[in-house]
Amino acid sequence: MHSGKTLSFSRAIAILLFAALLVVAGLFTQSSPLAAQQRNILLVSIDGGIGPAVSEYVRAGIEAARERESAAIVLRVNTPGGLDSATREIVAAILASPIPVFVYVAPAGARAASAGTYLALASHLAGMAPGANIGAATPVRIGAPSVPGEKDGKPQTPDAMERKLVNDSVAWIRSLADIQGRNADWAEKAVREGVSLPAREAQEQKVVELLAVDLPSLLEQAEGRTMSVNGRPIVWTGANAQVEAFDPDWRIRLLAAITDPTIAYILLLVGVYGLIFEALAPGSLFPGTIGAISLIIAVYALNLMSVDAAGALLIGLGIALMIGEAATPTFGVLGFAGAAAFAVGSVFLFTGEIPEFTLSPWLIAAATAMSAGVMAWAVGASVRATRRPLASGEADYAAGRGVIIDWHEGAGLVRFHSELWQARGPVDLAPGASVRIHKRDGLTLLVEEAIAPSIKPGAKP
């Protein structure tokens, strides 16, 4: 009887515990939507050309959003285009992201041209501000004009390499448009014909999904939409999430600085001149050290950017020739040839339609003039060195002058060039007398009395 009561009491305790677990589970279940609404949204701003630094910045933002379990990451885009390698890195990061990536072409009047079009079509949700435009996604080969296009008023026929480039881009952009069910036919026209659309027409032709005056409006319109994220359909519910700007760290800022074509080119110049001055004055160390560091940073930066191979080779040849001129003077033959090669290579190094990835002609002209000036100075120094009388060996002693420090019976000590030498000469010399050195016999100087200059009549002694 007693055991039956104990069993009933145990069952009652177990039922109460189970009920408590259900209540707790219910509380956690009810709090999940609230937790989702309280998650943040990271905002990454792309303003300008898309290069290695922007690629690193966007990928860092997507990774940070994943670690923080953000509701989404918004790429606010205003770009004229960018490098193909950087664009492909960003697109790959968007497609692999487990968190929705929105592309918002803003503010009003912004554009998602060229590379920006690929980012918008790859995104899980694309929106535009009124007055913005998208398109003109024709790829531009480094060192070549746009494809297709005109030159001197005449249509150009793309060559085989350009056709391959265009066809590859068409296949890529169509596949991106198909992922979210966007207008793949228009995407192909954006590549082949370079067409563009304003914001409202882009929404009507299903190139983008939303037309929003600001970011809160975009997030509100996105609420409840179904999108494919990393191959999984997701209904997005994060309109009330707090937007947090994601700022680039010091490493990305440094990368943005050195991958600016102007900065990279100036670092290249500093490296070249540093090595030239080190060759002209061996052992000075400081110019060579600074030059070597600057040259390494410049080469690293250029390696991250799309540069013309012929331009890079001409610059390398020019550097080698100018350093060769400084190390083994050829009276300008190597130096001026190197300066010319460096200038021509600079013109070919960066070519394209994006101002952020081109060099100013004035900068190239200034660098060319500076290189020619340095070479002229080096040649002048070489010429002067050949005309300068010998400053060492026997010629340094002949006709030199010294002062007697100690003298006795035709021998003693003579100070010559702040050094004391054993000397032989006339017997009647005395300490303090000025003597002229006749020649050197081993470690002994042969001297004779210096002749004092004559004083003209009427002159003061």
The catalytic position among 8, 10, 31, 164 is: 164
Q: Is 164 a known active-site residue?
A: yes
CA distance linking residue 403 with residue 415, whole number of Å: 5
How far separated are the first and last CA of the chain, in Å rounded? 146
Look up residue 113 and give its two tokens.
Answer: 């041209």
Residue keyed to tokens 């900065």: 263
Helix (H, G, I), strand (E, B) or coil at 383: helix
Q: Is 114 a known active-site residue?
A: yes
34 CB-near residues (< 8 Å, 6+ apart): none
H or E element, residue 9: helix 2-38
For the chain, what is the total number of helices (H) and then of strands (E)? 15, 18
Closest to 122 measured CA to CA, from 89, 165, 161, 82: 89
**HEC per residue, 38-75:** HCEEEEEEEECCECHHHHHHHHHHHHHHHHHCCCEEEE
Query: Cβ atoms within 10 A of the Cβ of 284, count?
Result: 11
Q: Beta strands of 212-265 (E only): which ranges?
A: 226-229, 232-235, 242-245
Look up residue 164 and give its two tokens.
Answer: 């391959």
CA distance linking residue 49 with residue 79, whole number of Å: 6
The catalytic position among 70, 97, 114, 123 is: 114
Q: Which residues belong to the active site?
A: 114, 164
